[in-house]
Structure 1
Amino acid sequence: MIRDVTINDAQQIVNIYNYYVLNSIVTLDLVPFSIQDFEEKINAISSQFPFIVFEEKNQILGYAYANTFRTKPAYKNTVELTVYIDHENLGKQIGKKLYTELIMQLKKQKYHVLIGGLTLPNDASVKLHENFGFEKVAHFKEVGYKFNAWYDVGFWQLTL
């Protein structure tokens, strides 16, 4: 089931996210988040943008949301997307289902451009974005440093 996030989801969401903080370059965050951090994030984002979860048997297996791309008013019709899937549930098309719903909601809300920022390499996320019609529009070399190595960041764009 895909549904809107609630504050009660914070614990499960932070567990999903912190796995990637500690074990992956998918996020360039270096320090795990607290439940309170994610409660604040949920409140801030969901009050302005779609923030959805994929739930099965009362367990959140993934989440996705839109957020501010840049703070200047001229960017108000552009959003940056985020999607994370529980690492034990990868390969089950959960990201595709979440993105399908998220993009549908954003179209209804009349957003114009969707941006996906990806730490590279990340073949699964590149494939997800390109399957939805996103095109690579930027590539920044060695801008993130994690696990004693430099990583590139790419940006994919979809115009609705």
Structure 2
Amino acid sequence: MMRLVTVEDAQQIVDIYNYYVMNSIVTLDLVPFSVKDFEEKIKTISNDFPFIVYEVNNEVWGYAYANTFRTKPAYKNTVELTVYIKHTELGKQIGKKLYSELLLQLKNQNYHVVIGGLTLPNDASVKLHENFGFEKVAHFKEVGYKFDKWHDVGFWQLTF
């Protein structure tokens, strides 16, 4: 089932995220987060933006949220999206379900543009975004360094 995040989800969310911090270039974070870090993140983000989880039998299998794209007031109708799926549950269309709900909420809240930033290569995330009508609008070469290698970052945009 899909529902709004609660602070009590922090441990499961940080477990999902830290797997990618330690084992993947999907995020360019280099240091694992603490539960307290994610409790603060949940409080801060969910006060202003949609933050949802996908749960099965009281276990969080994925989460997605919108957040500030840039802090200048002129950007207030643009948000950046994030989605992470528990690595053992990939391939079950959870990201698609989370994005469907998140995009619906953002559209209903009158946001105009949503941005997805992806470390490349990341075929699954590119496919997810493009299936929702996002278009690639930027590609920055070798801007992130992780696992002793330079990585590109691309940005995909959807305009409502």
TM score, norm. by length of structure 2: 1.00
Alignment of structure 1 residues 85-96 onto 2, 5 Å: 85-96=85-96
SS in 2 for 1:128: helix
Aligned pair count reads 160
The whole-number CA distance in structure 1 between the counterparts of 2:34 and 2:83 is 19
* Structure 2 counterpart of 1:38: 38
* Structure 2 counterpart of 1:83: 83
The whole-number CA distance in structure 2 between the counterparts of 1:51 and 1:104 is 12
SS in 2 for 1:62: strand
* Structure 2 counterpart of 1:154: 154
The amino acid across from 1:71 in the alignment is T
SS in 2 for 1:47: helix
* Structure 2 counterpart of 1:121: 121
The whole-number CA distance in structure 2 between the counterparts of 1:145 and 1:40 is 26
* Structure 1 counterpart of 2:4: 4
| 2:107 equivalent to 1:104 | no
Show structure 1 runs of 4+ deviating over 3 A. Answer: none
The amino acid across from 1:102 in the alignment is L
The whole-number CA distance in structure 2 between the counterparts of 1:79 and 1:18 is 23
1:70 to partner: Cα distance: 0.1
Name stretches of at least 5 consecutive residues in structure 2 with no aligned partner. none
The whole-number CA distance in structure 2 between the counterparts of 1:2 and 1:145 is 34
1:62-87: per-residue Cα shift (whole Å, max 9, x none)?
00000000000000000000000000
1:84-143: per-residue Cα shift (whole Å, max 9, x none)?
000000000000000000000000000000000000000000000000000000000000
